[in-house]
Amino acid sequence: MLKNIEELFSVRETVSFIDVRSPSEFNKGHIPGAYNIPLFSDQLRALVGTIYVQEGKEKAIHVAMKHVAPHFTGLVDQAKEIYQKNNKTSVVYCARGGMRSGSVSWLFNLFQLPVIQLARGYKGYRNWVLAQFLQKRALNLLCGKTGSGKTAFLHQLAREHQQIIDLEALAKHKGSVFGGYKDQQATQQQFENDLAWQWAQLDSVKLTWIEDESRKIGSVIIPEAVWAQMKEASTYLLSTSLENRVKHILREYGNLDKSFLLNALEKIESHLGSERYQKIKKLGVNEMKEAIKILLSYYDKKYEHGLKNKQAILLVNFKYF
């Protein structure tokens, strides 16, 4: 049975997505929450692709079947385990909804596992992703200087049942040069996939809070259509004291590896200027409070310049602190 992503998104809680592409394809980007049960390894995919180009489709299929057939039982066992865990119909997809997903769907049917094949595969899903960003949302843009607790404020709003989008969580990066330590940065495709999945679930009538960010968060870029809506959003400025901001930054970054902090500092040496850079380096991680204050003087100047053309509503007395 073939179904498109539009149909399946509406029943997403009742299905398990199974990506049968190779591990490297999956790691580059996949449907949120999907399981990877690769039909081909990365090496076999490369081999079959080469044979397809050099010797034709029939020979490529013959080589693929020779390598894959002994592993059919293992593929079915993995699918059964997922089904027993979730009790949900499997939605199988490959790159374009072709031979790989078709073969695995046939195999699962043979073993009486409930299965749907995703029409147009991952390529169809990616087209759907990019289309979601054209959907208008009523955004409130949350601004605030570094350390003002914008992300914590967002999640307080979520606990109060307001709609939010946490771009930094989706990017797996906190935005600054110091922000990529804890998690591996999301790929561009995965960032877009996860963002679209959340964007599509938003009630377009209700307000959605989103944090003010640079267009680039670490190595990922906010999609142009979303960025355009952020620039048009109502702006709210979260304000707190310098001391509170320093405390917040210490909680967030105070336990990070010393060599990581120093390496990150080197990356912005030219922006800080020699005098400020040397002062921070001399203080080192043993006098973090003073070092943070000097850093904030740099980030504040940069942020105030960006905020200059925005008319923001002031938010104060945030209870997080």
**Cα–Cα distance measured from residue 274 to residue 289, given in angstroms and rounded to the nearest whole number:** 20
Nearest to 214 by CA among 184, 241, 254, 174: 174
d(CA 108, CA 258): 51
Q: Tell me, what amino acid is at 17?
A: F
Residue 281 backbone dihedrals phi, psi, to 5 degrees: -65, -40
- In three-state secondary structure terms, 300 is helix
The verdict on whether 143 is a catalytic residue reads: no
Q: How many residues does the chain have?
A: 321
Catalytic residue among 5, 8, 39, 94: 94
HSE, side-chain direction, 13 A CA sphere, residue 165: 31
Residue pair 150/144 in contact (Cβ under 8 Å)? The answer is yes
261 in helix, strand or coil?
A: helix
Alpha-carbon span 26 to 31, nearest angstrom: 9
List residues bridging with 234 in a β-sheet.
140
End-to-end CA distance of the chain: 54
Structure tokens at 220: 């990922």
Helix and strand numbers, DSSP H then E, in the chain = 16, 12
Closest CA to 177 of 257, 242, 261, 255: 261
Catalytic residues: 94
